[in-house]
Amino acid sequence: MTTLISFLGKNRRDPVHGYQRASYEFPDGAQVKTAFFGAALVQRLKPDRTLLLGTAGSMWDALDFDPDAPEWAELVDATEQASVDQGLLDRVSLRAREAMPGAELVLIPYGRDEAAQMDLLANLAARVGQGEQVVLDITHGFRHLPLLALVAARYLSHVRQAVVTDIYYGALEMTANGVTPVLKLDGLLRMLDWVEALAAHDASGNYGVFAPLLVRDGLKPEAASRLESAAYLERVTNVSDARAIVTPLLDDIARLGGPTGLFKEQLAQRLAWARKPDRESRELALHLAYLARKDFLRATIYLQESAISAACSRLKLDPGAHGQREEARESMKANPGFRSLSDIRNMLAHGTVGGDSGRSRSAVAATASAGALAAKLAELRVLLEAQRKG
């Protein structure tokens, strides 16, 4: 089901000629002449229904229905007095639907304050069904309404799982030679998708959230699927296999255009761990990344694995071979810093450390708060680094 949401603004109505009409030209060259751009969109898109949103003083009398109808004079007078109410809109709805099938007339607040703005969003959420496709028209609203419309687009996508496919704007101020261009602003939605994906990654570390956005800009679906697999592997600490997938994909991503072109540097920074020269440095980079997002268990695991990889390098062992990593781990058990790190890892994984030894009490103290744990991990990181260099 497709719903068009169109905002009605306030305009000056000529008592003889009515509202100014414009010849709106769509990107494909088709033109529709009308005073209300929403009517042109209904004609072009044929939505299942249209929500016409306006305030008490919006140009409701721009709606095209019989001027001899008894409700017409009442609507014109109320519009001029900025006193339109929902009851009047309900009375004229039947007439409006004769000219615009599926139209619903909805009174909204002016949005002067936060409470009114939230009321608008709640009103939209109540009227948009789960999973609907939504098209937004921001042509005639007050100048602050396009900002609310963008927020509404994200709000509906999360609260109603609605798919906002397009945002249209009839740019009257860009009229030239009697033709008013119609702008499609759906690129703004695609950029907001990236902003949200970056925030989601920074909170979770899951770069699989970028996969559908990359496909939209030209990455092959099978490549995007591999990126999701790599995200899973990295999050379960299988760094080697994750890196084997990510590294060649970085070059593919670098060649993409669209919104990816705007955000690919930020994405490359978040995948920079895969470019590190050795396993030790890759695991250390992931430790720092997870520590920054306060994912302390993964941060601890990656710091511990980085120390084991460093031991493999020192002992000339293969860091990718399980048996040789275990040999390196055994060699680290006498290291006080590594023992402390192991105790903290066990405390985080199991909620307890065996016994009531000094080591156990130290691990409990280190995990008493986020601040204490971050400070302890930083201390151990410096200690292990100094021991490696020594």
Phi, psi of 134 (to 5 degrees): -125, 135
Closest to 168 in 3D by CA, of 186, 144, 141: 186
In DSSP terms, 105 is beta-bridged to 52
Q: 3-class SS at 179?
A: strand
Confidence of residue 290 (pLDDT cuts 50, 70, 90): very high
**Percent over 70 (pLDDT), the chain:** 95
Sequence-distant contacts of 364-367: CB under 8 A, at least 24 apart: 366/340, 367/296
168 phi-psi bin (left φ>0, alpha ψ -120 to 50, beta other) = beta
Under 8 Å between Cβ of 269 and 254: no
Q: Is pTM, for the whole model, over 0.85?
A: no
For residues 147 and 149, what is the distance between their CA atoms, to the nearest angstrom? 5
Confidence of residue 106 (pLDDT cuts 50, 70, 90): very high
Q: What is the pLDDT of residue 17?
A: 53
Domains in the chain: boundaries: 2-184, 194-275, 279-389
Q: What is the pLDDT of residue 64?
A: 67
Confidence of residue 353 (pLDDT cuts 50, 70, 90): low
Q: CA-based Rg of the chain, rounded to a whole angstrom?
A: 30
- pLDDT, greater one: 94 or 13: 94
What lies within 8 Å, CB to CB, of 96 at 6+ separation is 52, 63, 65, 103, 105
Confidence of residue 175 (pLDDT cuts 50, 70, 90): very high
Confidence of residue 358 (pLDDT cuts 50, 70, 90): low
Closest to 139 in 3D by CA, of 3, 47, 9, 23: 9
Closest to 329 in 3D by CA, of 282, 382, 321: 321
Fold for 2-184, please state it.
Rossmann fold (3.40.50)
Please report, for residues 57, 59, 84, 276, the alpha-carbon distance to residue 142 in angstroms, rounded to integers and kept in the order given.
11, 11, 16, 51
Res. 355: pLDDT tops 60? no
For residues 135 and 151, what is the distance between their CA atoms, to the nearest angstrom? 14
CA angle 370/376/382 to nearest 5° reads 135
State the amino acid at position 308 in one-letter form: I
In DSSP terms, 166 is beta-bridged to 135
Under 8 Å between Cβ of 216 and 263: no
For residues 165 and 62, what is the distance between their CA atoms, to the nearest angstrom? 26
- Average model confidence (pLDDT) across the chain: 89
State the amino acid at position 354 in one-letter form: G
Res. 360: pLDDT tops 70? yes
**What is the number of residues in the chain?**
390
For residues 324 and 341, what is the distance between their CA atoms, to the nearest angstrom? 20
| Torsion angle in degrees (nearest 10) through CA of 101, 107, 112, 114 | -90
Mean pLDDT of the region 369-384: 94
For residues 189 and 274, what is the distance between their CA atoms, to the nearest angstrom? 30
